[in-house]
Structure 1
């Protein structure tokens, strides 16, 4: 390992600042991660040194930009162990990736009487597209029940998925509960029933090793900005034979082969799904982020986050009146803790913490169906990444005690 976990924090310039007169403690990486200097410099290098469109020109800058853009695609392929770069589509992010599958694949293959299966823990990005498919096609949208601790029981998965199921779409890691779902097992059940498996990997790809061939998933979606890369770009992985039979969802330049007066044909994979000028700087920046994460090692990142989560669960559970959502067993969850403090609104908790320089998320986290299942309107969430420390968690706990005492005095 070329970079030690102790040295990681120094590589993120934004963390070297004060917020409200206090050193910044950033605990909102599930919303978006911070960017290391190497990624920032890569973006600067592109705009300052070889800013050009890709694929369309033969001049020096265009050739260099194309090489770096397609080089980033190869880095993504290796990162998730896809069979070919043809299976790696650059999109605007996880939301666009899942919508592409819903529109291009599901609306063509799902019909009235069929089933689409998801869970109560899905982010809106992996819920609303399937609602829309069900409305358009007359299919039934079904939900896999959750256990009390917010995990999935494979027996209930088997009961919910039937031979009528055409699509199963499940988050790899819940952005609220932190639950790590058994994707490989669920995929096997889906395939045994003739369904395809779609995975929202937004909260998994930055933190744990993802091998799409080992998981055997049909589609896998994730975003750059949650894994130390720039905003505005993400990835849709799809098995080649499925992508080949799908129609593009956007049309125009870049994705065409031949255009006639009344008909046109498309480029081969992956370019038929990348209409218009692609997200060039974003893709190159994502490639730099992958280089950074690989240099540190996904296994080291996972181990570090597990240690932080275990520590946070222990320290936070000692606060009287706190409710922690999701599995208490740290082995079953990723690096985040979602919680509420009795009689204190999550937004008030977040406001008090911000005054101490601590950034957390408060609200429904784009998971209103899950909020209803939890019987709450909102929660607060602290999420950890490779640049966080146990000292950050100590400051969080101290801030939570301050918030609890402040509002108990007020009311």
Structure 2
């Protein structure tokens, strides 16, 4: 395979994954917003009350917010959203871990075992296998930031060197997220055991204190408002740069108009940017409404992106950059790792597809409410 073809395939995988992430974030944000209302309902009426709510209106609200934010021209203007997203992420993760620890401390421990859910009691053998594969996809999705590393690197100044800055940022980012994920997983399983929900903040592992659950879910929604833009901006810029390059004389595409916006001051408006970005947000919102399956969608996106973007292309670039000799011990080890990760990704995709099929059987588009 030629270098040019590999670049094209990498681009397809990267932008396809970014699109999937924006759909997944729309679903997740709406579930968190629904959880705020449900937490208040359970507090007022009791845990057995019927507090089912449709998440479609919340998806629409999230989409409207993204339509407005999508007019931000480029990554250089996103620093405030990135800071907000990081603070919100740290806050809700800490709250979730704290609530799980409190459950364990007071003795509210679920049924746990080394092998997890019991076959024949909690699930069938087939269900356990498919869910295990899907879980691998969820883990892969957790490290989906790899898809925006190149775009983020393009916004860095030349001093300090980009590669040094990215190495340091990646080390801190991976270490921090891994630390929090392990704590959430371990304490969440200790608290709920085999009955652990997919997300113990939105699936109501915790009911009280309801105001703290509300605040944590509000933080999730706020985090995803900013995160959506971080992942959507590379798609916006790719299409706009390509159109500007191909149609330099088209005023609809190239012209910008200065508009006075209250509080913000002068703001440059492009009609093409307004139409294209609005259309993108609308399409991703509609797709999220059609397929609002949280774990299965995230697992599928993670499985589809993990191998090409996190394993195969980085390894191939490393081999080419460092000129590793073909069939040397290091070359063989790297290739073996690629094949093992490919098998893992395929199994994760299979598990997520099985989960989607199971969910679709009982799903009615635009009518199903969030239980």
Q: Which has the higher strand share?
A: 1
Q: Which has the higher helix share?
A: 2
Normalization by structure 2: what TM-score? 0.30
